[in-house]
Amino acid sequence: MKAIVISAHGGPEVLTVTDLPDPVPADGEVLVRVRAFGLNHAEAYMRSGAWGQVAAVPGIECAGLVEADPSGELPVGTRVVAILGGMGRTRNGSYAELVTVPASNVVAVDSKLPWADLAAVPEVYATAWSALHGNLDLRPGATLLVRGATSSLGQAAVNLAVQHGARVLASTRNPAHAPLLEELGATEVLIDDGHLAAEVARRGVAVDAVLDIVGNSTLRDSLAVARPRGRVCQIGFLGGFAPVADFDPLTDLPSGVQLSFFGSAFVLGSPAFPLADVPLDAICAQVEAGALKARPTRVFPFEEIVEAHRVMEAGQALGKMVVTLDRH
């Protein structure tokens, strides 16, 4: 099979198309013929060496067809999406024509979306849905701030929260991106200079929940944004991996504000966080109906993976990008 491997830790140019033996599924695994896969910042971190030693073939998600399932539960040809389960980290991932995935991380979907569109959904929507409904317990009518909203994960969160009936504030560092967030349904767009708490207070807005995709660099400010007894969920590291200097719960955690973290790469599909809890089929149906604006911003052929990573690292995507192997 054709696969993309990390030839050495480094920039996008280290991604190389090569031939590898076809993988064989063990018990408890499913072999998927990949038709398209989404691009994620996690794969750039793995490629660069920021996450230490990882699998040779990156890729944490894909859409495709079941090639083999030793359990017999999923018939050959079943349309599926596959997410995480160690892909790209502890086992070869989805940047390939074939991939084996733990059965707990494969979901059958009854969707007529084109492969490229389907591949734009699974990881960001499963992650956003889990954080919004699990960590933040978002209710209709609540006010949510999505920090880092122009990222693909941020846009998925805005989409889902608006669809759920929440009032959504969305932040971006670039004023030119405000129309994009307004089109997704954000009530207000805040220009993020790292100090949103004062701006939110000036507007007199009581924020029930904060989804922080920027990460450690804005954590203290995000905690200050939330109303008393509000919730903050950190879900990304767009601002870098540097830890929060001298963080002290006694002084940095406002009384009554709940802080949590959701690391989808390590838990989605595990017994504590089963994918069966995430309504991926319903989400795909909403995308198909146009209720959720989840179509990819750019689609690359398999052979242009280096350019795709360059665009992703340059921050030029403004949404989800995918790579397709489908030639039909």
Can you give the pLDDT at residue 167? 98
Rounded distance between C-alpha atoms, residue 232 and residue 220, angstroms: 10
- Check whether domain 2-120+268-324 has CATH 3.90.180.10, yes or no: yes
Q: Is 124-262 the same fold as 2-120+268-324?
A: yes
Strand 226-234, strand 258-261: pairing: parallel
- Check whether domain 124-262 has CATH 1.10.10.10, yes or no: no
Can you give the pLDDT at residue 326? 67
pTM: 0.95
Running along the chain, 328 residues long, what does each successive block of 10 average in pLDDT?
Answer: 97 97 98 98 93 94 98 97 96 98 96 96 97 98 97 97 98 95 96 95 96 96 97 93 91 95 92 94 94 94 97 89 82
Can you give the pLDDT at residue 327? 57
- Angle (CA) 315-37-124 rounded to 5° is 60
Domain ranges of the chain: 2-120+268-324, 124-262
The backbone region for 196, taken as left when phi is positive above 0, alpha when psi lies in -120 to 50, beta otherwise, is: alpha
Query: Buried b vs exposed e over 106-137: b needs ≥16 C-beta within 10 Å?
Result: bbebebebbbbbbbbbbbbbbbbbbbbbebbe
Provide the H-helix boundaries in 98-168. 115-119, 122-130, 152-163
